[in-house]
Structure 1
């Protein structure tokens, strides 16, 4: 089958790239949003090789292709390119979400530099401790230390310049003008003026004295305002003068405005954020530590942790130390420990390799491989890590642990937390130790559903998959009301074009394996499941109509594609009450390879449980 040619024909027959607003696919069909459905040629689409049916519904133009849909979709993407992204309207977001997204976008590019600087600070702290304890030498007086310390501190000291650049990219302002504003705030003469005992004036107006080196909020506010000033100047200044006059007037307007208005406002906002954080800590440092230690890696999964990183950076700028990453360190070490528990417990060679590598990277402050490669994938280790991280974070909160730099949470930066004092440092050490070893032991005790080795899986499938030679029955995979397939309100299934079968309206939101089988397909949105029974029968279980639009919401899976499971194993669960508020939950059970069997019929019961006979297959 020539998939590129099929994709090209479909593209042409739906009206071409120009007629497409958006397109995606589900388990069986391409789903188009078209500017004009009438432009599409339904009759010729139905004659196209591989096309089973064409359906219009839910605001979509659907081309049904069965199990060939993924390959055709991939070819379509190569032909259509960026049309989906270019034509999509941006979702409406609340002001709070927009602010968090902006902060995340501003700080994300500089996280590696901040992490590297923190690691360097940790290494220098270790060197200072070794020099003091073993050689009775203060290496801080050496030029080498001074130079390396400058390298570790530069990203924080010149933060306004760096943030000027990243904020300009987010707010679409001139990058280098923004950096000049940041550099002005860090300029030695300005720093000296702001720290002097004399009054500082600009145009005979007294300035609010503040230290802008290492500051965060003032430059972000300034660049945000600059973006509007720049647009206004672009609008009023003639084209021939823009290249010189727009930057000039931008500086003439924004430097005074920043020092007189937005700089002080930013400092006050930073102080307020710092006050709120420490007020919460004052109410209950244990709960704050437990909360951050528990949820930090959950925030990592959604990328939301980057939106609260500025709190720690601002904390360092305001007070010279931070506790946010101390608590987050509990989460990192717990992820490392859980991954180590997976390493000891699993018999899967590939997973063992992934878990070992993820343990090491998490110990050095990078938790994503442990989260995605092992813990979240297996679920229970993730729960163990969250519990141990929360307990460890609570201990650190009780002990008052904090770091003197915004340093990555790993073994090399442990000395950064030593200056907090004996009790605080001991609580930090005990906390990360408990997080690591506790989550490791807990993971080994609680266990998880291990993933079989590929060789074992192949052996199981080869030895157990026998062609059907006698008539057989198939149990219902779901409990509910039996409905004839031709009564389903989906033309694709009702017509039998996907194969013969039956439908059930579920009364319990659980799908079970009707026999020993292999999961051949588990669609990411979890609304469609492909099974190959050990006797060779291939089943499609399609939960609801148009439930693909939920994007997996209200669904939960218990298996993985390629996994061999036994009769009665739970495959997917779903929230009936939530889903049926929006969609028809009629679930179609289709024998995909119906043409290989003489006759297929379904039971005459009006209701079935998942232990009742549902389909009868005659060879």
Structure 2
């Protein structure tokens, strides 16, 4: 590990891991809560290579690291055996709302397995393709081995999700895996053979044959292979039960008695209640989504196709992915993801239009790799680097995706596996028994139409013809006043209205010393942060009190609203952008309540610094009173 020695030294000099109650990180520093701060060797830490300084505030022992603090934090957590906690969970404390919480849970659970899931889907798809082309038979050893490779993650999906889900809910990884493994234990599937003892809920849509009982209670045996909902719920309850047992079991036997009691409680509970109820709910949900689709597949395709990329940008697509996985598991096919399959190709077509039409060398250079990655379904470079900042190409790509989705809806395209992205997703539409058919053909037509629409409309209407305006001006709107500026040197505008001052005058030693970056501080008179440059949001801390922007010229800008305001847990801060977003100079990025922040005991004096200052010869303004948009720093 790159920061292993640094992490070891930090742990040792904060009094050892037994002196650490918790540790999280913010944008520049590790924030320890120590049992006894007197045991920490502050002077040693301050003089340590890799440590900027040490500060104590708000009951926290802060070890200032700099921009690479996430990597140091990860190593500290691994070496110290501390519970991993995200800054959001530990420090923000603000309520996200039910829907946002759901999206966060789903994304956290599925993101770690999406890569191997896509790879496995590609193997399954190509295996089906090669059989349909007659390259080998589905009775051959080649087919069987490749099918095992491609099918394993899907069959044993509860084990994988058991790991990621219980990790999200704060439980032990291997307990989650053990719960998932119990759900797909092979010997249980053989118990359904023969006549049942009796049928539970006979005569209803939930009629269930009972073959076995647990302590006299009926167990409804179901197939949990490839299932999603049961293991997520089981992992949630498993984490709660485990943490409860941790509180009451003595430390000397905790290592084996906690998992012992947790598994004894959660696994039977899952088979008796969680599994059957969740499975029935999943079946109903799959039937419901299919019903809606069947009522108007064209409208469904238009809507999902048009807004899929918007959903992806805001992370809302995670609410649909589990439905698709659930449909494949319960119905054997899915029509939801089929309607959005054309979206990446529409986006790629738009990039091709930009590439061929634009006169800007920078855009041409960016378009080539974005086009190549887009063909394989990775559209983030295209969206964030090209089409979204230009606006028109992004809108055109949504139009192309809508038409492609409508074609898929009209043709009733079905996907039989959750396969790869881009062109690697095509095998998903090959019927596992009938081979290449109407689903595959219609999906090809849909993506071609979407690609052509994205390309042609962007080429004709999506790229400005005014080369000079596109290359040399940046539009800045501040207080309804628009100015234009030729972009030649590095120019950082003031992000606030307020009073500028040297960094040395602020109370935070890390920023005042200049080791975190060179620049100025501003005492804002208005609770609005405007983007001082055009560029990309490289860092947006979850509590919205600090933001990092990488300019189009490569400068790395850090703006930290107030001193120690991370302790407000995001209260009084509202962000209008997300990490990774493209921003333009003068755009409002964050609103904050100055009076409320001061009333809570925190100053709002804000450092505005260039962290890679060694690459520039910086000149700062000598103005005291400054307005948003005024020149602040220049190289």
Category of TM-score, reference length = shorter chain:
0.5 to 0.7
Match for residue 106 of structure 1 among 109, 115, 124: 109
SS in structure 2 at match of 1:511: strand
Q: Paired residues, what number?
A: 458
Structure 1 or 2: more helix by fraction: 1
**Partner in structure 2 of residue 129 of structure 1:** 132
8 Å contact kept, 1:521–1:561:
no
Task: From the superposition, tell whether residues 129 and 239 of structure 1 become closer, same or farther in structure 2 (CA, over 3 Å).
Answer: same
Match for residue 437 of structure 1 among 444, 452, 463: 452
SS in structure 2 at match of 1:228: helix
C-alpha separation in 2, matches of 1:194 and 1:211: 10
Q: Does 1:298 align with 2:310?
A: yes
Superposed displacement of residue 221, structure 1: 0.8
Normalising by structure 2, we get a TM-score of 0.62
Q: Does 1:312 align with 2:324?
A: yes
Query: What 5-or-longer segments of structure 1 have no aligned partner?
Result: 1-20, 26-72, 132-136, 462-475, 480-505, 529-541, 554-559, 564-570, 584-591, 597-619
Q: Does 1:362 align with 2:374?
A: yes
SS in structure 2 at match of 1:548: strand
Residues 333-352 of structure 1 mapped to structure 2, 5 A cutoff: 333-352=345-364
Task: From the superposition, tell whether residues 117 and 516 of structure 1 become closer, same or farther in structure 2 (CA, over 3 Å).
Answer: closer
8 Å contact kept, 1:510–1:573:
no
SS in structure 1 at match of 2:341: helix
Match for residue 463 of structure 2 among 430, 448, 451: 448
Task: From the superposition, tell whether residues 129 and 561 of structure 1 become closer, same or farther in structure 2 (CA, over 3 Å).
Answer: same
**Partner in structure 1 of residue 280 of structure 2:** 268
SS in structure 1 at match of 2:92: coil
Q: Does 1:321 align with 2:333?
A: yes
Superposed displacement of residue 189, structure 1: 1.2
SS in structure 1 at match of 2:404: helix
Task: From the superposition, tell whether residues 150 and 234 of structure 1 become closer, same or farther in structure 2 (CA, over 3 Å).
Answer: same
Q: Deviations over 1:480-510 (max 9, x none)?
A: xxxxxxxxxxxxxxxxxxxxxxxxxx5xx35
8 Å contact kept, 1:399–1:424:
yes
Q: Deviations over 1:135-165 (max 9, x none)?
A: xx65211101110011111111000111000
8 Å contact kept, 2:526–2:594:
no
C-alpha separation in 2, matches of 1:348 and 1:74: 39
**Partner in structure 1 of residue 548 of structure 2:** none
Task: From the superposition, tell whether residues 402 and 380 of structure 1 become closer, same or farther in structure 2 (CA, over 3 Å).
Answer: same
Q: Which structure would you say has the larger Rg?
A: 1
Superposed displacement of residue 185, structure 1: 1.2
C-alpha separation in 2, matches of 1:432 and 1:326: 10
8 Å contact kept, 1:321–1:406:
no
8 Å contact kept, 1:300–1:368:
no
Residues 36-47 of structure 1 mapped to structure 2, 5 A cutoff: none
Superposed displacement of residue 264, structure 1: 0.6
Query: What 5-or-longer segments of structure 2 have no aligned partner?
Result: 1-23, 29-63, 74-84, 198-210, 499-522, 532-536, 545-550, 555-583, 596-618, 624-635
RMSD of aligned residue pairs (Cα, Å): 4.8
**Partner in structure 1 of residue 59 of structure 2:** none
SS in structure 2 at match of 1:140: coil
C-alpha separation in 2, matches of 1:373 and 1:516: 21
Normalising by structure 1, we get a TM-score of 0.63
Superposed displacement of residue 518, structure 1: 5.4
C-alpha separation in 1, matches of 2:494 and 2:110: 31
SS in structure 1 at match of 2:320: helix
Match for residue 235 of structure 1 among 243, 247, 263: 247
**Partner in structure 1 of residue 212 of structure 2:** 201
8 Å contact kept, 2:419–2:428:
yes
Q: Does 1:150 align with 2:148?
A: yes
C-alpha separation in 2, matches of 1:441 and 1:543: 47
**Partner in structure 2 of residue 589 of structure 1:** none
8 Å contact kept, 2:527–2:591:
no
8 Å contact kept, 2:530–2:586:
no
**Partner in structure 1 of residue 99 of structure 2:** 96
Q: Does 1:119 align with 2:122?
A: yes
Task: From the superposition, tell whether residues 90 and 525 of structure 1 become closer, same or farther in structure 2 (CA, over 3 Å).
Answer: farther
C-alpha separation in 2, matches of 1:247 and 1:330: 46
C-alpha separation in 1, matches of 2:493 and 2:409: 43
